[in-house]
């Protein structure tokens, strides 16, 4: 692989231009108006996969946004790697906090600034280029399949059915994913656990119309006050979630495992400084790494109700709403948790209001074994390019489909993420370090090499 670095250096500009052509398409899956952009983005991926050397590539319809599927089958004797990624992105609100246009990528300070720069256009596109190199240089000893979906950010709703229908086509020895992060540029890590998710929307309705807060205030349940009280009651003073049976299935780690986790490099002062907060805040009795790694959460992602414009309006509003995200850990079932939430939330509503709970999407937690060949291949690949053995870590994030892959296809996944905490994914000013983009393209070929060797 001596020419790998030279190949990347020689093609840098082209790689970026190709990536930018994906980023420029505003493929926001949660917003109906972007439906045509989903198709455009899928079509563009198809062109890029074919250009990279795949035998075939198709934009395949699903019940929702299409899936891009491509493959290069070299030999029945080779192990098969299914590369999974997603071409959809998060919304860009609050748009006023962006320093640049979210869909016009800008390279500045050694980073690409744009929605999707990291999550997941930047990370998934590294695979197209690593594959291109391996193929062109005649070193590819794996069969490679590509599957890019357009609904990851809204729960991968259509991909489950797509997998059910295409089990044979998607057969593989491992699913290779770059949609997570690593600890730091000088501290490579491999994500071995992901949290599950239950996401839902709640609406509290009081009177049938907005009322004058003076004439009715004090005598009629105010849906904002009530929503706040209901939300507040979901956590106790130890920041434990109070929904009955919420913790019943949570996998409890042994003291030994917790001691191991505590060895991961983590600097609390730097963490606080980066976020500009005086104190971290979470469940009593757990460290910051544990709070995001092995413990479930209940976070409000949005809240709205009444008058939110300039100045004052003395109104007792008719409705108040919120979006709730619960991150789940191994053994918790997202459907069960959604039901528990729904039942509990409805039960605590006072008589003066009515409550509507609308489940949005969910997915299960995932734990990846560190003794499988793919893990060892990934470990060796990072060690080769970063000069350090990667640390296995548990991410607080969720990729709901990963546990679905195991259930439906019977295939494990290896999460080779190259993102950083500072990449501001899902936030304004998302960015991706150029160094990491190119380092990813350099590392993935070694994964193919070592994986083929280990699977022989």
Residue 302 to residue 93: CA distance in whole angstroms: 11
Nearer to its own copies, 108 or 212 (CB): 212
Q: Are strands 319-328 and 196-205 parallel, antiparallel or unpaired?
A: antiparallel
Distance of closest approach, residue 8 Cβ to its own copies, in angstroms: 28
Nearer to its own copies, 220 or 454 (CB): 220
Distance of closest approach, residue 224 Cβ to its own copies, in angstroms: 4
Nearer to its own copies, 384 or 429 (CB): 429
Distance of closest approach, residue 91 Cβ to its own copies, in angstroms: 5
Residue 427 to residue 94: CA distance in whole angstroms: 8
Distance of closest approach, residue 267 Cβ to its own copies, in angstroms: 14
Q: What is the enclosing helix (H) or strand (E) of 112?
A: strand 111-113
Q: Output the six-digit token pair for 100.
A: 């640049």
Distance of closest approach, residue 52 Cβ to its own copies, in angstroms: 29
Nearer to its own copies, 288 or 331 (CB): 288
Nearer to its own copies, 99 or 137 (CB): 99
Nearer to its own copies, 2 or 310 (CB): 310
Radius of gyration of the chain (CA): 23
Distance of closest approach, residue 345 Cβ to its own copies, in angstroms: 13
Backbone φ and ψ for 421, nearest 5 degrees, come out as -55, -35
Distance of closest approach, residue 27 Cβ to its own copies, in angstroms: 13
Distance of closest approach, residue 389 Cβ to its own copies, in angstroms: 23
Nearer to its own copies, 157 or 445 (CB): 157
Q: Are strands 111-113 and 366-367 parallel, antiparallel or unpaired?
A: unpaired
Distance of closest approach, residue 210 Cβ to its own copies, in angstroms: 4
Nearer to its own copies, 290 or 339 (CB): 290
Name the one residue in this structure whose structure tokens are 């006023």.
96
Buried/exposed code over 383-404 (b: 16+ C-beta within 10 A; e: otherwise): bbbbeeebbbbbbbbbbbbbbb
Give the angle 51-52-53 at the CA atoms, nearest 5°: 90
Residue among 308, 333, 309 nearest 321 (CA): 308
Nearer to its own copies, 88 or 173 (CB): 88
Nearer to its own copies, 11 or 213 (CB): 213
Using an 8 Å Cβ cutoff, are 397 and 180 in contact? yes
List Cβ neighbours of 288 (8 Å cut-off, separation of 6 or more): 266, 268, 271, 280, 282
Q: What is the separation, in whole angstroms, between the first and last Cα of the chain?
A: 19
Residue 408 to residue 10: CA distance in whole angstroms: 41
Using an 8 Å Cβ cutoff, are 118 and 36 in contact? no
Strand partners, 58: 69
Can you say how many angstroms the Cα of residue 405 is from the centroid of all Cα atoms in its chain?
A: 15
Give, in order, the Cα–Cα distances in Å from 8 to each of 4, 273, 322, 332, 441: 6, 35, 46, 43, 8
Cis check for the bond before 120: say yes or no (omega within 30 of 0): yes
Distance of closest approach, residue 238 Cβ to its own copies, in angstroms: 13
Nearer to its own copies, 157 or 440 (CB): 157
Residue 419 to residue 181: CA distance in whole angstroms: 4
Distance of closest approach, residue 160 Cβ to its own copies, in angstroms: 17
């Amino acid at each position: 692989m001596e020419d790998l670095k030279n190949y990347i250096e020689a093609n840098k500009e082209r790689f970026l231009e190709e990536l930018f052509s994906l980023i420029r398409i505003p493929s926001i899956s949660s917003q109906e108006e972007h439906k045509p952009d989903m198709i455009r983005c899928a079509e563009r991926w198809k062109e890029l996969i074919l250009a990279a050397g795949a035998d075939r590539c198709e934009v395949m319809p699903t019940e929702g946004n299409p899936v891009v599927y491509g493959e290069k089958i070299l030999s029945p004797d080779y192990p098969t790697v299914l590369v999974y990624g997603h071409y959809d992105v998060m919304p860009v609100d609050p748009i006023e906090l962006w320093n640049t246009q979210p869909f016009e990528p800008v390279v500045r300070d050694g980073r690409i600034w744009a929605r999707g720069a990291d999550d997941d256009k930047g990370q998934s596109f590294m695979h197209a280029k690593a594959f291109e190199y391996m193929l062109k240089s005649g070193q590819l000893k794996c069969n490679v399949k590509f599957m890019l979906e357009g609904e990851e950010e809204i729960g991968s709703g259509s991909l489950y059915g797509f997998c059910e229908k295409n089990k044979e086509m998607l057969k593989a020895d491992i699913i290779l994913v770059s949609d997570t992060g690593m600890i730091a540029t000088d501290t490579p890590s491999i994500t071995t656990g992901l949290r599950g998710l239950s996401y839902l929307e709640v609406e509290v309705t009081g009177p049938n119309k907005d009322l004058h807060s003076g004439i009715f205030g004090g005598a009629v349940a105010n849906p904002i006050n009530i929503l706040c009280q209901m939300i507040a009651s979901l956590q106790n003073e130890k920041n434990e979630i109070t929904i009955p049976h919420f913790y019943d299935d949570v996998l409890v780690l042994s003291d030994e495992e917790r001691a191991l986790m505590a060895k991961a490099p983590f600097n609390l002062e730097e963490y606080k400084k980066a976020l500009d907060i005086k104190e971290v805040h979470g469940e009593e009795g757990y460290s910051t790494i544990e709070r995001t790694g092995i413990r479930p959460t209940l976070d409000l992602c949005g809240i709205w109700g009444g008058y939110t414009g300039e100045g004052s309006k003395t109104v007792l509003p008719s409705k108040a709403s919120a979006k709730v995200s619960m991150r789940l850990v191994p053994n918790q079932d997202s459907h069960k948790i959604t039901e528990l939430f729904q039942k509990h939330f409805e039960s605590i509503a006072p008589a003066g209001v009515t409550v509507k709970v609308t489940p949005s999407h969910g997915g299960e937690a995932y734990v990846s074994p560190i003794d499988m060949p793919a893990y060892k291949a990934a470990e060796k690949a990072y060690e080769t390019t970063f000069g350090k053995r990667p640390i296995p870590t548990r991410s607080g994030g969720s990729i709901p489909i990963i546990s679905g892959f195991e259930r439906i296809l019977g295939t494990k996944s290896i999460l080779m993420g190259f993102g950083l905490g500072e990449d501001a994914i899902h936030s304004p000013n998302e960015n991706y370090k150029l160094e990491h983009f190119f380092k990813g393209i350099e590392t993935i070929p070694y994964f193919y090499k070592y994986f083929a060797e280990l699977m022989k």
